[in-house]
Amino acid sequence: MTIEHAPAETGEYTHAQVLTILTGLMMGMFLGALDQTIVSTAIRTIADDLHGLSVQAWVTTAYLITSTIATPIYGKLGDLYGRKKLFMFAITIFIVGSALCSFATSMYMLAGFRAIQGIGAGGLFTLVLAIIGDIVSPRERARYSGYFMAMFGTSSVLGPVIGGFFAGQSVLFGVAGWRWVFLVNVPLGVAALIVVARTLHLHQQARDRASIRIDWWGATWLVVALVPLLTVAEQGRQWGWDSGRSLTAFVIGAVGLVAFVWAEARMGEAALIPLRIFRVRAAAVAIAASVIVGMAMFGGIMLLPLYMQIVHDASPTEAGFLMLPMVVGMMAASIGSGQVISRTGRTRPFPLVGSLLITAGLLLLSRTGADTPLIEVLLPMFVLGLGLGNCMQPLLLILQSAVPPRDIGVASSSATFFRQIGGTLGVAIFLSILFGSVGGNIANAVRADAATPAWAATVRDPQVMADPLNRAVVQALQHPTPDGGVLGQVQDDSSIIGRMNAVLAHPFKVGFADSMASVFLIAGVVAFLAFLVLLWMPKVELRATSASAASRADAVAAAGPPADPRG
């Protein structure tokens, strides 16, 4: 299935052309969205098998670091050279990274391969958002948002099923079941490449290649700034925040950040992230809000599957399905806000309401504990989803409308980039808080439970103590060792909790639940900061034309009227 290019004289696309292009775009986005839900569902099983639950943040952080750094590079190169080849390149790198992940033998090796995968992932969402901005006007974009929400909904349903199935298989076709979590991306990625090659036909505005400059210094200093800062955010609790390694990372990151701003100022129009964007008030507010919402969103959402599996004994598949209230809330809010924006052109109220709903959802989640009924957890998740759905698309529409049409790629990548910066910091910081506090919370919960009659009866029960694991837990509590024994192993292999006697396991669940509640509370406070920032958002008029048509009109106007053939 192929289509003709957009009419050269207008740059506009027909409804049929847009739908055909969307086929290829959604295949690429589906690949990335499905991977996220599959991996998040199976990560506990993967971490337990590789004996590294406490360092799982490396796996997530490595992926986010590379995808974050790659995001603005894809956006800028797409503006200069066109997006189709870059999109196919991103899919190819994603496939290669996925295949390598299936060979990991440790959490650190998996983190390295996820970093390669992240290089490809950085282009999947960014380029799709930029292409949509090219071919569809902001006010018309809501007409097509339902297709993407359906795709995200499908991936949210299929991801937990697929991830749970693979994570639940000890061996499948001679390979450990969880490794298929990554191998499944290979055939899906190849199919996406074929569809994109046949359907994605875009009209690219001609650029003077002689005048094109690539901001390699900006990209280099961005790496120097982000890698040490994000690394110390994840490792600070182990190194010590005032240790030599932490201070060195802070200094290198600060130098890299200053040098990046200097490089961007020197590059001017050719900058990776042009500083002129920040002089537009609406864009600056949207970017600041994206960072804060990203922190609350990624930091909060990362804990929910862990909460379901560790505290409520849910299987990976069950944990994935239990995330559906949040997904439904996101879909309902995204489609609803999109329809209203399409009719009215008003965007400002939605992120304001959304940030308050995110705050409310996270604060409600902070009141959950080890004994909270599931129904009381699912409702706050739905509220959280409503908030996210009211923030993500409106903020992107505001940013894309606030900048000139030629910067649509930079604007789209900036929205994703800064949201991922916040998300990466959120994941690293919140998981550090979780694992930094869980040991003390478990100890407090054990002391409280040890004073109950149920605990005393359990430790005197010969049948319970006949189980080597139960016996080891009680012995570790009575005679602590420097390495913590079984108690220390829990942070690396949480599946031990599910194999304990229910009474003995309860304080461990309480410890994890209390630490997660603290993280949800902090994330809720962070989300409220987004609301305060968004109060500065000015009214933004959404463009009624696509970026492609606007660029074409600008080019025609710059060329002037055609010469009179009569002289």
CA distance 282 to 288: 10
First to last CA, the chain: 46
Q: Where is the domain boundary, 163, 179, 204?
A: 204
Are 141 and 262 in the same domain? Answer: no
Are 24 and 124 in the same domain? Answer: yes
Phi, psi of 545 (to 5 degrees): -120, 160
Contact between 189 and 31 under an 8 Å Cβ cutoff? The reply is: yes
Are 139 and 227 in the same domain? Answer: no
CA distance 125 to 277: 21
pTM: 0.77
Are 76 and 14 in the same domain? Answer: yes
Q: Is residue 238 part of a domain?
A: yes
Nearest to 410 by CA among 23, 74, 5: 74
Would you write out the chain's pLDDT as a tens digit for each of its 567 residues? Answer: 444 444 444 456 677 777 777 877 888 888 887 787 778 777 777 887 777 766 676 787 788 778 878 888 887 787 777 788 888 899 999 999 999 998 888 888 998 999 999 999 888 878 887 787 777 776 676 666 656 766 766 676 677 777 777 877 777 777 777 888 888 888 888 888 888 888 777 665 545 554 457 778 888 898 898 888 877 776 676 777 788 888 999 999 999 999 999 998 888 777 878 888 888 888 889 889 988 888 887 766 778 878 888 888 887 667 777 888 888 888 888 888 877 887 777 888 899 999 999 999 999 999 998 889 988 899 999 999 899 888 887 887 888 777 777 677 677 777 777 887 787 778 777 877 887 788 888 888 888 888 889 888 888 888 888 888 888 888 777 666 655 556 666 666 677 787 888 888 888 889 889 999 999 999 999 999 999 999 998 887 766 655 555 555 555 555 555 555 554
Are 175 and 221 in the same domain? Answer: no
Are 232 and 200 in the same domain? Answer: no
Residue 387 confidence (pLDDT): 92
Reduced to 3 states (helix: H, G, I; strand: E, B; else coil), residue 441 is helix
Angle at 45 between CA 424 and CA 375, to 5 degrees: 80
Are 62 and 169 in the same domain? Answer: yes
Phi, psi of 373 (to 5 degrees): -60, 145
**Which residues contact residue 39 at a Cβ distance below 8 angstroms, ignoring those fewer than 6 apart?**
46, 163, 181, 182
Nearest to 353 by CA among 534, 540, 542: 534
Contact between 225 and 256 under an 8 Å Cβ cutoff? The reply is: yes
Residue 5 confidence (pLDDT): 47
Residue 54 confidence (pLDDT): 65
Q: Is residue 105 part of a domain?
A: yes
Are 222 and 247 in the same domain? Answer: yes
C-alpha distances out from residue 60 to 57, 68, 108, Å: 5, 12, 11
Q: Is residue 119 part of a domain?
A: yes
Are 199 and 125 in the same domain? Answer: yes
Are 230 and 160 in the same domain? Answer: no
Residue 367 confidence (pLDDT): 92
CATH number at residue 139: 1.20.1250.20
What would the two tokens of residue 109 be?
Answer: 């090796």
HSE of 133, CA atoms in CB hemisphere, 13 A:
32
Residue 14 confidence (pLDDT): 73
C-alpha distances out from residue 258 to 231, 244, 262, Å: 18, 21, 6
Phi, psi of 476 (to 5 degrees): -65, -35
Q: Is residue 419 part of a domain?
A: no
Residue 353 confidence (pLDDT): 94
Q: Is residue 566 part of a domain?
A: no
Q: Is residue 24 part of a domain?
A: yes
Q: Which residues are paired to 172 by β-bridges?
A: 175
CA distance 112 to 332: 36
C-alpha distances out from residue 116 to 111, 112, 302, 414, Å: 9, 7, 21, 21
* H or E element, residue 171: strand 171-172
Domain that holds residue 171: 7-204
What is the torsional sign of CA 499, 503, 504, 509?
A: positive
Q: Is residue 305 part of a domain?
A: no
C-alpha distances out from residue 67 to 53, 113, 116, 196, Å: 22, 12, 9, 21
Residue 342 confidence (pLDDT): 75
Are 192 and 61 in the same domain? Answer: yes
Q: Is residue 367 part of a domain?
A: no
Residue 1 confidence (pLDDT): 40
CA distance 190 to 92: 8
Q: Where is the domain boundary, 204, 225, 257?
A: 204
Residue 362 confidence (pLDDT): 94
Q: Where is the domain boundary, 251, 271, 291?
A: 271
Number of domains in the chain: 3
Are 232 and 129 in the same domain? Answer: no
